[in-house]
A = this chain, B = another copy of it.
Amino acid sequence: MCALTQPGAIMPNAIVPDATIPERHPAAMARIVMKFGGTSVADLDRIRIVADRVAREVEAGHEVAVVTSAMAGATNQLVAWCQALAPLHDAREYDVVLATGEQAVTGLLAIALQTRGIEARSWQGWQIPIRTDGAHGRARITAIDGAEIIRRMQIGQVAVVSGFQGLGPDNRVTTLGRGGSDTSAVALAAAIGADRCDIYTDVDGIYTTDPRIVPRARKLDRIAYEEMLELASVGAKVLHTRSVELAMNHRVRVRVLSSFADASDDNQGTLVVDEDEIVEKQIVSGIAYSRDEAKITLRQVPDRPGIAAAIFTALAAHHVNIDMIVQNISADGSTDLTFTVGRADLARARATLAEAQPQIGYLEIVADANVAKISVVGTGMRSHAGVANTMFRALADKAINIQVISTSEIKVSVLIAADYAELAVRALHTAYGLDA
Closest residue on chain B to residue A71 by CB atoms = B81
| The residue from B92, B112, B126 contacting A126, defined by CB atoms under 8 A apart | B126
Which of A47, A96, A124 has the largest count of B CB atoms less than 10 A from its CB? Answer: A96
Asked whether, in the complex, the Cβ of B103 is within 8 Å of the Cβ of A107, the reply is no
The answer to whether B110 and A90 touch across the interface, beta carbons within 8 angstroms, is yes
A82 to B227, CA, bound (A): 42
Query: A300 on the interface (CB 8 Å rule)?
Result: no
Chain B nearest CB from A132 CB (Å) reads 16
| A108 on the B face (CB < 8 A) | yes
Q: Are A96 and B90 in contact (CB under 8 A)?
A: no
* Binary per-residue interface labels of chain A (73-107) against chain B in the complex, 1 for a CB within 8 Å, 0 otherwise: 00000100110111001101111110111011011
The reply to whether A108 and B121 contact each other, CB–CB distance below 8 Å, is: no
- CB A415 to nearest CB in B, in angstroms, measures 42
From 28 to 73 in chain A, residues with beta carbon under 8 angstroms from any chain B beta carbon are 44, 47-48
CB of A127 within 8 Å of the partner chain: yes
The docked-state distance in angstroms from the alpha carbon of A171 to that of B126 is 10
Kindly provide the distance from the CB of A143 to the nearest chain B CB, expressed in whole angstroms: 18
List of B residues within 8 angstroms of A171 by Cβ: 127
Chain B CB within 8 A of A114 CB = yes
Question: A103's contact among B100, B114, B115, by CB below 8 Å, is which?
Answer: B100
Contact of A96 with B107 in the complex, beta carbons under 8 Å: yes
**Interface contact A114-B86, CB-CB below 8 Å:** yes
Other A-B contacts than A93-B111, A93-B122, A100-B100, 6 sampled, CB-CB below 8 A, are A81-B108, A90-B114, A93-B107, A94-B107, A96-B104, A96-B110
